[in-house]
A and B are shown apart, each in its own frame.
Chain A
Amino acid sequence: MSEELETRRLKREVLVRIIKAFMSDNYAENVRLIPYEMRPKGCEVPFRCCVYKERAVLRSRTIAGLGFAMEDDDERTLLSDFAEKALEREHPEPEPLTVLQNACKGCPSSKVFVTELCQNCVAKPCMKACRFGAISNDGHRSVIDSEKCKKCGLCMAACPYRAIVKTIVPCEEACPVGAIAKGEDGLAHIDKDKCISCGKCVSACPFGAPHAKSQVIDILKNIKAGKEVIALIAPALIGHLPCKPEQIQDAFLKIGFSAVYEVAQGADVTAKTEAKDFQERLENGAPFMTTSCCAGWNELVKKHMPEITPYVSDAKTPLYYTAEIVKKEHPDAVTVFVSPCFAKRREVLDNPNVNYLLNFEELGAMLIALGIEIDVCEEKEFEYQSSKEAREFALTGGVARSVQAAWKGEEGAVKPVVVNGLDKAAVRNLRAYAKMGKCPDGNLIEIMCCQGGCIAGNACLGSLKDAFKKVTDYGNKGQSLETERKIIND
């Protein structure tokens, strides 16, 4: 996260200010003032060309923080009117991501380019390597005709000086499914029919232009109305707060939530269901199965790789099972999933048992705005004690390990393959497995969209190293699902 720390801090500051405004006596007016409070008259201009541009971008960030799409902004509606509209909204907006057009740089298109380090050598391997006749020589160095260039990169590999580079558009490069691209206006646009809401563009953009539409106002509104609002916390959260796991419940109660459930509770159900599902599939001769808990992966299957559907486990996500349990125990409650990533927004929109999504950044903003110091919160154990494997669901390899731990079939039959981060190459491999109807490397393919697992989700707060340690420590305090199997076997 380090490289995008600046843009992240801006987003978080805006969220804190929106929440502070909501808690104040003058919500709409205080929201209107956010860009002016952050960039007052005569202040330094840290990032953009002038203070007015900075304020314009901050206004856009505020609109996204209120949960609206920038695409719908006419640029003349006051932030105070947006603030009021957010209060009236019954349902959150359907598309999870938006691009702040005034924050988008309109980066130069990707191209292969001969730099001034070209030595104009005699052999000219670049010209020989090019299959499209795109490279000529102007007497001083090689030149690429971008009309003819297919960006294959053969010239780059051929150059003995590594003097040829390929420039990229960060958002386009990061998107595993080609859903974000520069439009005719030169700015990035998201094609909602292709977007899997994985949020890789949000992390990749050094200008912080792609943005999640927040639901903080919707959630706070329900809390303020005195409703029973229940937090369902993702296992990754344990790794992303500066406190003990036992202090998390109290922090949520201080915000105004009425109860907290660990989604690890549902992860136990997912692990057992998935192990059983996999056993049946193997017995019926299936060549492989993929996991089904990553929302980014599930969206990818639906929108881009329907041919792999028969190989995807029928087990539901940990959130699905947890929400089912919560709604059974509290039928009238408003349920909020506390998420490390953006992709789950789509799953939440599609699941009637989950009303809202609060990501870790937004949770952090709430804690700051409400002045809750989490490391002095009271300690309280969760009522349901989740297993070691469920607690470690958020780590890459963790879901595969949970299936192995819950496995009741033939010893050694589970051969995990871990896809640690969905990128363009991983998508190609998976497509090939579906086409061939086999996976050469194993039979249980665990897929996590984010490299490192959910603890590396794009709305996470802490460092990966620290998060891994905290989650593993917590996991080690839980009982293994294997214990259950041993008891049965004995």
Chain B
Amino acid sequence: MEKIKVKVCQGTTCYVMGGDVVKSILDTLTEKYADKVEIVSVRCFETCHKQDSFSKAPFVYIDDEVVSSASVEKVINAIESKLSDE
């Protein structure tokens, strides 16, 4: 099975809105998914550049699904639902 790729944006906007903090917590929480999930940092995909969407940062991409205003909880929930789909 291919691993689910969790891409945490580390562009300036997402970083300032807490993306790095979310990533550091995800890094410690996701050991139990280690063989199913891969967490990586990515550069800005410009999702934040649309009118006012900076306020929806940080963005996390779970494969191709976008999680906006990403918190640790939201990301974990999205990972869980993706795993149960498969």
Contacts and interface: CB of A to CB of B under 8 A. Distances in A.
Contact of A2 (B12, B21, B52): B21
B15 A462 contact: yes
Interface in B53-81: 54-55, 69, 71-72
A157 to B, nearest CB: 32
B21 to A, nearest CB: 5
B4 to A, nearest CB: 22
Nearest to B71: A5
Interface residues of B, number: 23
Contacts of B20: 242, 461-463, 466
A367 B13 CA distance: 8
Contacts of A38: 55
B71 A242 contact: no
Interface of B: 10-13, 15-18, 20-25, 43-44, 49, 52, 54-55, 69, 71-72
Interface stretch (A296-304, A368-376, A437-445): A368-376
Given A2-B21, A466-B24, A373 B12 contact: yes
19 contacts: A1-B18, A2-B72, A5-B71, A6-B71, A13-B55, A16-B54, A38-B55, A242-B10, A365-B16, A367-B16, A368-B17, A368-B54, A373-B44, A375-B11, A375-B43, A463-B21, A463-B23, A463-B25, A464-B24
Given A8-B18, A371-B49, A375-B44, 6 more contacts: A1-B18, A13-B54, A361-B16, A372-B12, A373-B44, A374-B12
B29 to A, nearest CB: 11
Interface in A325-378: 361, 364-365, 367-368, 371-375
Contacts of B21: 1-2, 5, 462-463
Contacts of B22: 2, 5
Interface of A: 1-2, 5-6, 8-9, 12-13, 16, 37-38, 241-242, 361, 364-365, 367-368, 371-375, 461-466
A461 B72 contact: no
A6 B54 CA distance: 15
Given A371-B49, A461-B20, A463-B24, A241 B15 contact: yes
A16 B57 CA distance: 12
A465 B43 contact: no
A244 B18 CA distance: 19
B25 A2 contact: yes
B16 A12 contact: yes
A373 B11 contact: yes
A37 B52 CA distance: 9
Given A242-B10, A373-B44, A461 B55 contact: no
A465 B24 contact: yes
Contacts of A9: 17-18, 69
A8 B71 CA distance: 12
A242 B52 CA distance: 21
Contacts of A462: 15, 20-21
Contacts of B54: 13, 16, 368
A364 B16 contact: yes
Contacts of A6: 71
A241 B52 CA distance: 22
- Closest A-B pairs by Cβ, 10 of them: A364-B16, A463-B24, A462-B20, A242-B15, A242-B10, A374-B12, A5-B18, A13-B55, A368-B13, A463-B21
B12 A242 contact: yes
A251 to B, nearest CB: 9
A419 to B, nearest CB: 25
Contacts of A5: 18, 21-22, 71
Max count, chain A CB within 10 A of own CB: residue among B21, B24, B49: B21
A313 to B, nearest CB: 34
Contacts of B55: 13, 16, 38
Contacts of B13: 367-368
B44 to A, nearest CB: 6
B28 to A, nearest CB: 9
A373 B49 CA distance: 11
Contacts of B52: 37
B68 to A, nearest CB: 12
A443 to B, nearest CB: 36
Nearest to B25: A2
A340 to B, nearest CB: 14
Contacts of A8: 18
A93 to B, nearest CB: 25
Max count, chain A CB within 10 A of own CB: residue among B16, B20, B22, B43: B16
